[in-house]
Structure 1
Amino acid sequence: MEIFLAILVLLSLIGISHVIQRFIPFVPIPLIQIMLGIILIMLPFDIHVPIDPELFLVLFIAPLLFNDGKKTPREELWRLRAPILLLAVGLVFLTILIGGYALHALIPTMPLAAAFGLAAILSPTDAVAVSAMSARIHMPKQIQRLLEGEALMNDASGLVAFKFAIAATVTGLFSIWEASFSFIIIALGGLLFGALLSMIFIWGRLLLRRFGMEDVTVHMLILILTPFLLYILAEEFGLSGILAAVAGGIVHAIEQDKSESPIMELKVVSDSTWSVILFVLNGLVFILLGLQVPDVLNSIFSDSAYNNYAAVGYVVLLYLLLMGIRFLWLFLGSKITKPVAWNSKIKAEKPSLLNIMIISVSGVRGALTLAGAFSIPLFLHSGAPFPERSLMIFLAAGVILLSLIVASIALPILTAKNGPRSASLEDDLEKAAQIKAIQAAIQAIKNTKNSENNIAASLVINSNEQRLVEINTSRSRVEYNANNRREQMKLHRFAVEKERDYLEQLLDKGEASHQDVQRLQIVLTKIEMVLTNKLHFITLLFSLLWEKVLMILSPQKHALSHTASDLTTMRILRIRTSEEAVRQVSQSKHKGNEVAVLNVIAYYNQIMIGLRKQLSAYNCTDTFNEQKSEMEIISIQAERNALQTMFEQTIISRKVLNKLQQQVSIREADIIEAGL
């Protein structure tokens, strides 16, 4: 019962931390969660959760890195492979070398091998902390991808080096060549093992599907177990479980991209389930870290053998040393190596001094460092206590806290855009935020759209799309003159042509009957007659007459008559061709025809709204109204979440947030009144 209550309290603190962060978005969520953990351990509730390093790695680090491997763009990581390896491997070993000797010189009572071990466990950056930091600031994309790639890879190199250094301290034996060879085997073996085992899991799931087992629950259970099995089995074979989990995530992402017939329900359930799992794991990592801090501090501050001021000074000096090594390595690397770009569409440039400072400060340490420190054994092989174990754990915890605090203060300053914002810029940012929030609402509705709520969802989507058109039209400063009108007519004819082409595609695929296509082709010809010039008008007129003659001569004389079922089919077909027209027109957008594109899209949106209303006119039952209300609520909440996220990332000010949220609240009130 005590364990269950402890879990409930920890989960509650995760929720509380996010509520607090809503009011103080400038404080990163990891710091808030660490502080809540510290407060909890100091309260008289007797809640103590010691960290078991092995359990911590498999329970938290494995699934988090597996997900990072799935989500991180692979093409961009590959383009940045050289700088990522320089940071994840080169910088780690340089940190161990310089940091180890510096620590031994600063604290002579700490053996050199143990100093190397502490420097090794301090060398990896924390993927979770990096993501939390970059999510709330204007982090350049190239830097963000570089930091994500570094955090994925350097955990393994740091941990392997740490294990060798600690083993050398305990046994007194060490071979540089044996350690180097073992590192290569452990790292490459972990990557290959994780990739191979993941492919076996994927093939197993495909085999289950071929046998007719489409149960989403079973497939989801396999996906959840995958990172834990990858880590445990890789470690059993003496390989890197961390790199196995990363490789597994990448392989699963590749499989998902290449899958021709994915189970859409599985994708939705998988995304939702992993979202909850990661939310909980990310929160627990830092709360558990906070729970350990008071005991770690007390072990030094209450020990008369240590000078408290000297201990704190060691933390500061060690952090400055780590940042200095990182900055120097990045600076020299920028001078020696060839510049690369994370995206093929942008020009490769050498990092500026500001970017080097951002990358240096972003190297925050996290729970992996503390978990490694706690894994330091209590005794040597001789039976003597491990030298300076408490001080090593204290220094690790101190560097973690200091790196988080410095990054939370320095990064917003380093990444802030210079100069005050003008009124026009504020207006543009506000409208851009509106557009982004509405797009988030549309995506949220599409994610919940199914065959049962299709019409209700489509109506709400079209309503939001119309709002987008109105915002985009109002923000355009292009004068709508005769040239714009000619461009719009041209685009409109282009859209009708694409509708015709799409109809023929549907006919070839058997998704539309010949009669329905003929009927709609006549409608499109009439529309095109209105839009075209006089010469083309005469040609289309004869074409229309000829189509009608053919239909009259057709053996099926009833083809010209329209039953209620025929009208419904034609409306659905026209909605589909209109959606295709909008897609094609959107792709043809370029500088100079923005207004024309927006007006043509607005026209088609109005057409689709009218058609869907006609389709739903006979079905406005209580169920339909409930579905529509549900879709509108989802839309409202998605807008609110998007606006709050932009505020937390300092994209918009609190003033803009309050203004836009007030507009959302007014719309919500209108929806509630409409439902009465």
Structure 2
Amino acid sequence: MELFIAVLVLLVLIGLSNILNRFVPFIPVPLIQIALGVAIALLPAGVHLPLNPELFFVLFIAPLLYNDGKRTPRHELWNLRAPILLLALGLVFVTVVVAGYAIHWLIPTIPLPAAFALAAILSPTDAVAVGAMAGRVHLPKSIHRLLEGEALMNDASGLVAFKFAIAATVTGVFSLAEASFSFLIIAIGGLLVGAVLSFLLIRLGVWIRRLGMEDVTIHMLLQILTPFVIYLVSEEIGVSGILAVVAGGIIHAIERDRTESVQLKMQVVSASTWSVILFILNGLVFVILGVQIPDVLSTIFVNVSFNNLQVLGYVGLISLLLLLLRFVWIYLFWQGNEWFRKKSPIGKPRLQEISIISLSGVRGAVTLAGAFSIPYVLQDGSPFPERDLIIFLAAGVILFTLIAASVFLPVLAKNDEKTTDGSQQTTERKAKDIMLNAAIRAVKSEMTDENKAAALAVVSDLSKYIRQAAGQLTAGKRKDILKQETAINLIGTRAERREIENMLDENVIASEAAFKCNSWLDRKEMMLANRTNTQMMFSISEIGRVLGHLFTNRTEKPDQPFMIENADLFRQVKLRTSEAAIKAIRAHMNDGNRPVALSVIAKYERVIARLRSWNQGKTEDPFNQEKLELQMVAIQEQRNTVQQLYENGEINRDVAAKLRRFINDVEATVLKNS
């Protein structure tokens, strides 16, 4: 029961941290969550959760890295493979050697192998922390992807180096050749095992689907279990579970892209489910980190053998050394190496960009979990040298890098944004396009035979927004769009006329009824032709209302009794002619006229929906209610997409605010017209 209450408290703190961030947006959510964790641990009856490293890695790190591998663009990672490997492998081992010797020189009571172990666990950047920091500021896309790729890969290299350093400390034996060979086996084996297991689990899902089990919940459960299965099996085999889940996420993304059009509903449910899971896991990582800090600090601060100011100085010096090593490493390869610069898609970054990359090397919960995994005793039974101090230094470096990134990254990134106002406008247009296309996919996933007319109407409206966002509805383009719409309407009208002739041949309608219908189509075609010549901005519905008003008050009055007496027949005619018009328009639809064609089809579908509801004896038209529901689905999906783009660092706070205002305006208009 105590554990259950503790978990509930942590979940409440996650929600509270996001609320507080609204009032203090200049403080990143991770720091707020760490502070709340510290506060709840300091209370007399506070939460105290012992950190089990193995459980922490499988419960938190595995699904988070799996998701990172799933959503990180593969082609961009491949293009950045050289700088990613230099940071994830080269910088890690340079850090282990240089920082290891420096720590041993600075703190002689820490043996050299143990100093290497501390340097190794401090070398990997934390994917969760990097994502949280990058989400607050607008980083250049290539730098953001570089940091993501580095964080995905360097956990494995850092943890492997840490493992061998700990083994050397415990046993007193170390072989460089054996360590290098083991690293290759562990890394390559992890990638292969993760890819194979992910492929097999995907095939299992396909097999279940072939059995006729299309229930989304079953497939979603299989997807949630995937990272845990991959990690546990990989670790049991003896390869890197971290690289395995990353590889598994990439394989899942490949399969998702291949079947996106077939399993659209599954994609929507998956995105929604994972967004909740990741929100909780990301928050728990930092809250749990905060809960551990008081115990870690008190162990050192209450120990009379340590000078508190001195150990705090150690934290500062080690943190600055790590930042300096990172800065120098990046500078040497990007600024001083002409060959490497040509191979790298980043090109030659400025000192400002190098500083951003250096400060973004945030350490996180992976470092602390690794430090807690240090054994208490050596092989001979003696205590592990300075274990408490090593854990304290690891926690201190985590806090130092988080605070430094929180303070200086926004300043550096903000200065960079001032020089890229034009690119920000481009980013806003691209983000709006992504947002609206996501809304279209969400609406299509909800489309059924019953709400098809409403769904197409919503998709048509969203497509217009996309054209507007892309600047396609300028004065010069409107004429072409009007011509397209007129041509599509004429295709539909002529298809209606052919269907009337077919019905006449089939003796479904009499010649008098066919004449009445054709007369209306004649007037409709005439108005469409005039519209092309005079640029009259009428829609089909507006033309119908104008004609109805004119002819009802004048020449059509004598025909009203005939129309009323044969209302059922004319509804049947209109139903068939509308279906024929849709079929003809679809036959002529191509990439050039697709948005306009879908808009016209949506109007025909609305007519069909109304006629069918009338035939079924329904007095109320369900179209408006269905359209409102789908519009709200689209609006919510747009909000989710903006939040995801912001968290991924693809848009900054200003762009996100503009997009949210746009969504709010659309929502207000929808609710006003409903």
Do the two structures share a fold, i.e. TM-score over 0.5? yes
Conserved in 2, the CA contact under 8 Å of 1:99 and 1:119? yes
Alignment of 1:123-142 (within 5 A): 123-142=123-142
Q: CA deviation at 1:662?
A: 6.4
Equivalent residue, structure 1, for 2:600 = 607
Partner of 1:541: none
CA distance in 2, matches of 1:422, 1:265: 38
CA positional deviation for 1:207: 3.0
Structure 1: distance between partners of 2:55 and 2:424? 49
Taking the aligned partners of 1:644 and 1:97, their CA distance within structure 2 comes to: 40
Matched letter for residue 456 of structure 1 = A
Change (3 A) 1:487 1:570: closer
Partners of 1:422 and 1:204 in 2: how far apart? 48
1:3 Cα shift? 1.4
1:104, CA displacement in angstroms?
0.3
Out of 559, 572, 579, the position equivalent to 1:569 is: 579
Partner residue in 2 for 1:391: 389
2:628–2:670 contact (8 Å) kept in structure 1: no
How far off its partner does 1:635 sit?
3.8
Which of 582, 589, 592 does residue 584 from structure 1 map onto? 592
The residue that corresponds to 1:254 in the other structure is 254
Partner of 1:350, secondary structure, is coil
Matching residue's letter, 2:54:
E
Looking at structure 2, the residues matched to 437 and 203 of structure 1 have their Cα atoms a distance apart, in angstroms, of: 31
Partner of 1:63: 63
The aligned counterpart of 2:166 is: 166
Who is 1:16 aligned against?
Answer: 16
1:95 CA drift (Å): 0.2
Q: Deviations over 1:456-495 (max 9, x none)?
A: 333333344445556777x97x664xxx688668877998
Instruction: Give the alignment of 1:465-484 within 5 angstroms.
Output: 465-466=463-464, 480=476
Match of 2:376 in 1: 378
Q: 1:415 aligns with which of 413, 416, 422?
A: 413
Q: Where does 1:221-236 land on structure 2 (aligned, <5 Å)? A: 221-236=221-236
Quote the Cα distance in structure 2 between the aligned partners of 1:219 and 1:461. Answer: 28
Structure 1 position 152, deviation (Å) = 0.8
Rounded Cα–Cα distance in structure 1 between residues aligned with 2:214 and 2:442: 25
What is the Cα deviation at residue 656 of structure 1? 5.7
Q: Which residue is equivalent to 2:311?
A: 311
Report what 2:78 is aligned to: 78
Q: Given that residues 437 and 639 in structure 1 are in contact (C-alpha distance below 8 angstroms), is that contact kept between their aligned partners in structure 2? A: yes
Contact kept? 1:434, 1:660, Cα under 8 Å: no
**Pairwise mapping of residues 438-453 of structure 1 onto structure 2 (< 5 A)?**
441-453=439-451
Q: Deviations over 1:622-663 (max 9, x none)?
A: 755543332233344445556677888544289968965763
Unaligned segments of structure 1, at least 5 residues: 504-518, 534-560, 587-600
Match of 2:552 in 1: none
Q: RMSD across aligned C-alpha pairs, in angstroms?
A: 4.0
Equivalent position of 1:595 in the other structure: none
Sort the Cα spacing of 1:383 and 1:606 in 2 relative to 1 into closer, same or farther, 3 A: closer
In structure 2, distance between residues paired with 1:358 and 1:668: 42
Report the equivalent of 2:456. 458
Asked if 1 retains the 8 angstrom alpha-carbon contact of 2:371 and 2:391, the reply is yes
Distance of aligned partners of 1:56 and 1:354 in 2 relative to their CA distance in 1, 3 Å threshold: same
Residue 361 of structure 1, aligned match among 356, 359, 362: 359
> Deviation per CA, 1:290-331, whole angstroms, max 9, x where unpaired?
110111111111111111111111111111100111111111
Asked whether the equivalents of residues 492 and 531 of structure 1 are also in contact (C-alpha less than 8 Å), the reply is: no
Query: How far, CA to CA, are the matches of 1:636 and 1:254 in structure 2?
Result: 28
The Cα of 1:355 is off from its aligned counterpart by 1.7
Residue number in structure 1 paired with 2:39 = 39
Deviation at 1:221, TM superposition (A): 2.5
Over 3 Å counting, the alpha-carbon distance change for 1:43 and 1:91 in structure 2 is same
Contact 2:485 2:600 in 1 (8 A): no
Amino acid paired to 1:241: G
State the identity as a percent. Answer: 50
Q: Which moved more, 1:445-454 or 1:228-237?
A: 445-454
Give the Cα–Cα distance (whole angstroms) in 2 for the partners of residues 622 and 488 of structure 1: 30
The answer on whether the counterparts of 1:126 and 1:151 sit within 8 Å (CA) in structure 2 is: yes
2:507 match:
none
Secondary structure in structure 1 of the residue aligned to 2:363: coil
- Matches of 1:429 and 1:185, distance apart in 2: 42
The change in CA–CA distance for 1:284 and 1:39 in structure 2 (over 3 A counts) is: same
In structure 2, how many angstroms separate the alpha carbons of the residues matched to 1:266 and 1:52?
34
Q: Say whether the 8 Å CA contact 1:160–1:183 is kept in structure 2.
A: yes
- Partner of residue 338 from structure 1, selected from 337, 340, 355: 340
In the alignment, the residues of structure 1 paired with residue 582 and residue 183 of structure 2 have an alpha-carbon distance, to the nearest angstrom, of 61
Counterpart for residue 628 of structure 1: 627
**1:146-545 to 2 correspondences below 5 Å:** 146-259=146-259, 262-334=262-334, 335-336=336-337, 337-339=339-341, 349-417=347-415, 441-466=439-464, 480=476
Query: Using the alignment, how far apart are the partners of 1:221 and 1:429 within structure 2?
Result: 36
Cα distance, 1:69–1:654 mapped onto 2, change above 3 Å: closer
Q: State the distance in 1 between where 2:642 and 2:669 align.
A: 15
Counterpart AA for 2:277: I
Contact 1:80 / 1:340 at 8 angstroms: preserved in 2? no
Corresponding residue pairs, total: 601
Distance change >3 Å, CA 300–CA 319, structure 1 → 2? same
Letter in 1 for 2:577: L
Q: Counterpart of 2:89?
A: 89
Greater shift, 364-373 or 23-32, is seen at: 23-32
What is the CA deviation profile of residues 390-443 of structure 1, one whole-angstrom value per residue up to 9, with x for unaligned ones? 111111111111111111221122122558799999999998887776666545
- The Cα offsets for residues 180-226 of structure 1, whole Å up to 9 and x where unpaired, read as 11111111111112122222223333333334443433333222222
What amino acid does structure 1 have at the position aligned with 2:196?
A: L
CA contact (8 A) 1:79 1:341 kept: no
- Following the alignment from structure 2 to structure 1, what is the Cα–Cα distance between the partners of residues 293 and 413? 30
Q: Is the 8 A contact 1:91 1:326 kept in 2?
A: yes
Please tell me whether the aligned partners of residues 103 and 115 of structure 2 are also in contact (alpha carbons under 8 angstroms). yes
Q: Give the distance between the partners of 1:454 and 1:29, measured in 2 at CA.
A: 42
> Secondary structure, in 3 states, of the residue corresponding to 1:280?
helix
Q: Report the alpha carbon displacement of residue 367 of structure 1 after superposing the two structures with TM.
A: 0.6
Q: Distance in 2 between matches of 1:215 and 1:634?
A: 21
**250 and 353 in structure 1: CA distance in 2 versus 1, 3 angstrom threshold:** same
TM-score (norm 1): 0.79
Aligned positions of 1:546-565 closer than 5 A = 563-565=573-575
Secondary structure (helix, strand or coil) at the match of 2:654 reads coil
Residues 348, 155 of structure 1: alpha-carbon distance in 2 compared, 3 angstrom cutoff: closer
How many angstroms apart in 2 are the aligned matches of 1:261 and 1:666? Answer: 31
Which residue of the partner structure matches residue 669 of structure 2? Answer: 667
